[in-house]
Amino acid sequence: MSDSPFEPDDSAADGNAGMRKDLTSYGDRGFSLFLRKAFIKGAGFTDAALDRPVVGIANTGSAYNPCHGNAPQLIDAVKRGVMLAGGLPMEFPTISVHESFAAPTSMYLRNLMAMDTEEMVRAQPMDAVVLIGGCDKTVPAQLMGAASAGLPTIQLITGSMLTGSHRGERVGACTDCRRYWARYRAGEIDAEETADVNNQLVASVGTCSVMGTASTMACIAEALGMTVPGGASPPAVTADRIRIAEQTGAQAVQIARDRLTIDKVLTPAAFENAMRVLLAIGGSTNGIVHLAAIAGRMGLDIDLLALDRMGRETPVLLDLKPSGQHYMEDFHAAGGMATLLRELKPLLHLDALTVTGRTLGEEIERAGPGFRQDVVRPASQPIYPQGGIAVLWGNLAPGGAIIKQSAADPALMEHEGRAVVFENAEDLALRIDSDTLDVAPQDVLVLKNIGPKGAPGMPEAGYIPIPRKLARAGVKDMVRISDGRMSGTAFGTIVLHVTPESAIGGPLAYVRSGDRIRLSVANREISLLVADDELARRAKETAMVEPTAERGYRKLFLQTVTQADKGVDFDFLRAPDTMGKVPR
C-alpha cells in the first residue's frame, strides 16, 4: 500500500468511503483524488475534516416552497448532529417541488425530483445521506431516488405548519381552505371574509396541518423505519423539530459507520407496516400511489386486493382532519407516532429494522407507556371502523380504483345515479358553473382525461367541485369519479385513480352523459351499467389518440409513465426484477 494521501486504497475496508468514494473519471485515480481534495480545500477544509465519514444533506429549501421554509435551521441542526458524532456534513441542493407552485401539477415533477435525488446521491462522495423533505411530493421523490441509489439513508421531515385563527375559529391548510372556498362558491361568505381567512389558513412555514399527503408521507416514512423515532409529528417551527434534526444528523453518521443501507430498512415487512399505518391514520389516497412507487424501486408490487383486506381489519384511529377534527400539532402533543404504533402493535411487523439499527418493536418499547389524550383513539373506539381507504373494482375500473371512505358521506356510499360527463379539465372549467348544466344532486359527476398520461401528471383535480347551482341550493357532496387524484386534505364521496385511465382507452373513456353508474363501497364495486357489446361498439367507433410530446421531459414522461397501481413512476426507474408482492 502506498503512503500517499492521494492513492486510493482498495484493500482497506473504507477504500471506497468518504472523500475517496466513487472518484470522478480522469483515467488516473490518484490524480482524481488529488484534484478532488484540491478543490474541496479551496473551501477551507482540512485533511482532518476530509478523513471523516461524509454525510450528504439534500437541501430542498426554496423561495417557492414555504413548506420547507425552515430548511436553513434544519440544516444547521443536522450539521451540528453530524459533527457531534464525528462526521463531515456536506449540504447539496436538489429540486424542490411545492404543491401550489408547480405547473401543471407537482406530480408531473415528482419523478424528476426522484431522478435528481438518486443521481446526485450516487454521483457525489457521501457515506450516508439525510433527505430533507416535507411538501407532498418531496418525501416520496426522495425515498424513491434513495431506494434506487442504495446508500445508508435517513429521512428528515420539515414538519407541519401551525394552525391559525379566523374570527374565533381554528383553521389550517388545507381542509379549511376547501371548506371556506366551498362556502364562498355557495354564496355563504363574501369576498372580504374570504380574503381574511386567506391570511390565517397558513399560519407559519411548514407542511399542511391536517392529514393530507405531506402528513401522510411523514407518518409513512416513520412507519417504514426511515426517520428517527418521533420524526413524523413535530411542527416545523418547534424546538422538538430542531432536536429531531440534530438527532438525524448524529444517526446518519452511525448508519454510515454501520453501513446500514436503505435496502435493510425498506423490506416487505416495512412496507406492510406502512400500509397498515396509512389505513389507520385515514391517510391521503396519494399515499398508496407513492408507496407503490417506492416499493417498485425495491422490486415490490403493492397488492391492492390485500390492501383492501387489511383495510377491513384496520380501523381509523387518528382523529385528524379531514376524517376527524384535530391537526398535526395536536397529534404531536398526543405523543405522535409512538402513540399510534402502540395502539396498532398487534397488527405490525415488530421485527422490521429502522434507521436506528433497532427494530420498530424495540422503538415502541423505548417510547414508554402512553398517557391520556384524545387524538389517537383506542382500537375499541375508532374514528371509523375500517381503514380509511377502500379499493373498488368493476367494469369501469378493471385495474382498480380508490375511495377514501372515512372522508365520504355515508349516505352516498351505496348509490346509483345518472352520469354527468366532463371530457377533460377544460370542459369541466367551462361548464361546471353554468346555470344550464343538466345536473341533479343524485347524479354522478365523471371527469375523464386527468390520469397519469391524460393531463398529464394525474393532477389533484379529482375533487370535482359541486356545480355552483347545486352548491347554492345547499348540496355539499355528490359521487364523483375520475382517473385523477385528489388532495389528502379534501373530503367527499370521490372515486379516484380509475385504472386504466381514459387517455389510454380505459373504460372510463366510453362513459356518456345519461349512463347509469353504481357505486357500492360495501361490495367494493364501481360499475358502469352499460352492456358489454354497447361498450365494445363505443370503443370501436372512438378514435383513441394517446397524448404525445415532441421533445424534452414531457416526451419522456408520456412515453414511460406507468399507471396508478404501479405508482405513476417511469417504467425504466423501477427495479429491473420483481421480487414479489407486499404484503406477502
Sites of contact with ligand FES (CB under 6 A)? 67, 98-100, 135-136, 173-174, 207-208, 212, 214
* The three three-digit cell numbers of residue 440, written as one number: 341533479
Distances (CA, A) of 80 to 55, 89, 90, 243: 12, 9, 12, 10
Task: Tell me the DSSP string of 441-502.
Answer: TTSEEEE-S-STTTTTS--S--SPPPPHHHHHTT----EEEESS---TT--SSEEE--SS-G
3-class state of residue 218 by DSSP: helix
d(C-alpha 106, C-alpha 67), whole Å:
13
The nearer residue to ligand FES, 208 or 291, going by C-beta atoms, is: 208
Nearest distance, CB of residue 81 and ligand FES, angstroms: 24
d(C-alpha 224, C-alpha 274), whole Å:
6
Nearest distance, CB of residue 117 and ligand FES, angstroms: 17
**Residue 274: closest CA among 243, 256, 298:** 298
Nearest distance, CB of residue 457 and ligand FES, angstroms: 16
The nearer residue to ligand FES, 143 or 470, going by C-beta atoms, is: 143
539 C-beta neighbours (distance < 10 Å), count: 13
3-class state of residue 239 by DSSP: helix
Nearest distance, CB of residue 215 and ligand FES, angstroms: 8
561 C-beta neighbours (distance < 10 Å), count: 22
169 C-beta neighbours (distance < 10 Å), count: 11
**Residue 511: closest CA among 528, 527, 489:** 528
Nearest distance, CB of residue 210 and ligand FES, angstroms: 9
Nearest distance, CB of residue 79 and ligand FES, angstroms: 24
Nearest distance, CB of residue 95 and ligand FES, angstroms: 15
Residue with cell 426522484: 114
Nearest distance, CB of residue 214 and ligand FES, angstroms: 3
364 C-beta neighbours (distance < 10 Å), count: 19
The nearer residue to ligand FES, 396 or 486, going by C-beta atoms, is: 486
Nearest distance, CB of residue 330 and ligand FES, angstroms: 17
Distances (CA, A) of 397 to 285, 373, 423, 543, 565: 16, 41, 17, 20, 11
The nearer residue to ligand FES, 23 or 174, going by C-beta atoms, is: 174
Q: Counting Cβ atoms within 10 Å, is residue 541 exposed (0-12), middle (13-18) or buried (19+)?
A: exposed
The nearer residue to ligand FES, 213 or 267, going by C-beta atoms, is: 213
Nearest distance, CB of residue 408 and ligand FES, angstroms: 21
For 410, the enclosing helix (H) or strand (E) is none
The nearer residue to ligand FES, 32 or 138, going by C-beta atoms, is: 138
**Residue 461: closest CA among 60, 99, 3:** 99
* The three three-digit cell numbers of residue 562, written as one number: 406507468
d(C-alpha 195, C-alpha 365), whole Å:
47
The nearer residue to ligand FES, 206 or 387, going by C-beta atoms, is: 206
The nearer residue to ligand FES, 99 or 127, going by C-beta atoms, is: 99
Contact 471/522 with Cβ under 8 angstroms? Answer: no
Nearest distance, CB of residue 137 and ligand FES, angstroms: 9
Nearest distance, CB of residue 303 and ligand FES, angstroms: 28
3-state secondary structure 249-272: HHHHHHHHHHCCCHHHCCCHHHHH
- AA letter at 230: G
The nearer residue to ligand FES, 99 or 118, going by C-beta atoms, is: 99
d(C-alpha 246, C-alpha 328), whole Å:
21
d(C-alpha 492, C-alpha 227), whole Å:
32
The nearer residue to ligand FES, 174 or 300, going by C-beta atoms, is: 174
The nearer residue to ligand FES, 111 or 215, going by C-beta atoms, is: 215
The nearer residue to ligand FES, 96 or 354, going by C-beta atoms, is: 96
3-class state of residue 145 by DSSP: helix
